Amino acid sequence: MNQKLYLWFSEAQTKDLTLSCRVKEVLHQEETPFQSLAVLDTEQFGRMLVLDNIIQTTVKDEFVYHEMITHVALNTHAAPKKVLVVGGGDGGSVREIIKHQSVEKAVHCEIDGAVVEASRRYLPEISCALDNPRVEIIIDDGIKHVRENKNTYDIIIVDSTDPIGPAVGLFSVEFYKDIFAALKEDGIFVAQTESPFYNRDLIPGLYQDVAGIFPVTRLYLAVVPTYPGSLWTFTMGSKKYDPLAVDISQIPQMDTKYYSPAIHQACFVLPPFVKELLGEQKK
C-alpha cells in the first residue's frame, strides 16, 4: 500500500529542541513588511498561525492561552469598560474580552495588518469577534498607541510574540511605565511572559520591572501544549485590585474551557522552581 507523503513543520523551541508537527496542507504563506507569516493545517493541532517560524496559536489549543490572558484580569477588575489588546492580531483575546458584559470597547492594536487578514480568512473560530461593534481595530505600533493614550484604559493586555525582533520593545521597562500611565487609577496590565523552563533569564528581570512600577504584581501559569515546555507564564501588574482577593463565588458563569473560578485561584499557586524566579521564598 502507498504511504502518504509526510511533511513536517518544526519550530526550534530552543537551540537544542524542536517541536515538529505533521502538516496536511500549507494554506497560506507571505512575507509581510514585519515578518514571515504562514497558516498551516496540521494533523495534531488543526490550523496553526506561524510567524517567523514560531507557532503563535492553533485552533485546538488556543482556548487555554486566550482565556487565561483575559479572564483573570477581567474578573479581578470591578467593572472593566475599556480594554486594550496590544498584538494578538488573530483576535482570540478580543473574542474572550467581549464575553464580559461590562466591556463597552475592546481596542485591538496590532502592528501587522496581514496577521488580522490571514486570521479572518483562515482562523474564523479565533477571529470571529473582530467585526463585533464593540471591537475597534487599529493597525499601528502598540508602543506608540500606549504612549499617546494616557489615563484611558481599565485593562491592557499584551498578547505579544516572543521577545525577539519586533516584540523586544514590548518587554521593556519603558513600555511598562507607559502602560501604567495609559491605565486608569484602578487599571490592570497582563502580558504573556514565556516559559519558566526555557526563559529563566527573562522572567526574573521582567517581574522585578513590573513590581517596581505596579503596587500589586502577580505571576500565574497555564498549560499550552504548542508552546515551549507547555507550562506558560503570564504576569499581571495592578494598581489597586489583587486577583487573589477576588471572591470567586461571585465570578459569573462563563462559556470557557480552561478558565474557571477555581482556576482563577489555582493558577497563582507556583511550584518552587517558578517562585525562585521571582526572588520569593520557595515554600
Q: Which three cell numbers stand for residue 192?
A: 504573556
Smallest separation (angstroms) from ligand AG3 to the CB of 197: 12
Residues making contact with ligand AG3 (CB under 6 A): 54-57, 88, 90, 92-93, 159, 161-162, 192, 227-228
Active site residue 159: yes
Q: Are the C-beta atoms of 194 and 233 separated by less than 8 Å?
A: yes
Please state, in angstroms and rounded to a whole number, the distance separating the CA atoms of residues 37 and 221: 28
| Gap between the terminal Cα atoms of the chain | 58
> For residues 163 and 261, which CB has a smaller minimum distance to ligand AG3 in the complex?
163
Q: What are phi and psi of 258, to 5 degrees?
A: -120, -50
Please state, in angstroms and rounded to a whole number, the distance separating the CA atoms of residues 216 and 83: 19
> For residues 192 and 216, which CB has a smaller minimum distance to ligand AG3 in the complex?
192
Smallest separation (angstroms) from ligand AG3 to the CB of 131: 17
Residues whose CB is less than 8 angstroms from the CB of residue 101 and which lie 6 or more positions away in sequence, other chains included: none
Smallest separation (angstroms) from ligand AG3 to the CB of 235: 13
Smallest separation (angstroms) from ligand AG3 to the CB of 171: 12
Which residue among 90, 159, 162, 178 is the active-site one? Answer: 159
Sign of CA dihedral 167, 169, 173, 177: negative
The SS3 of residue 78 is: coil
Please state, in angstroms and rounded to a whole number, the distance separating the CA atoms of residues 76 and 188: 9
Q: What are phi and psi of 77, to 5 degrees?
A: -70, 145
Smallest separation (angstroms) from ligand AG3 to the CB of 269: 22
> For residues 48 and 216, which CB has a smaller minimum distance to ligand AG3 in the complex?
48
> For residues 62 and 216, which CB has a smaller minimum distance to ligand AG3 in the complex?
62
Residues whose CB is less than 8 angstroms from the CB of residue 244 and which lie 6 or more positions away in sequence, other chains included: 218, 265, 268
Q: Are the C-beta atoms of 40 and 25 separated by less than 8 Å?
A: yes
Catalytic residues, which ones?
159
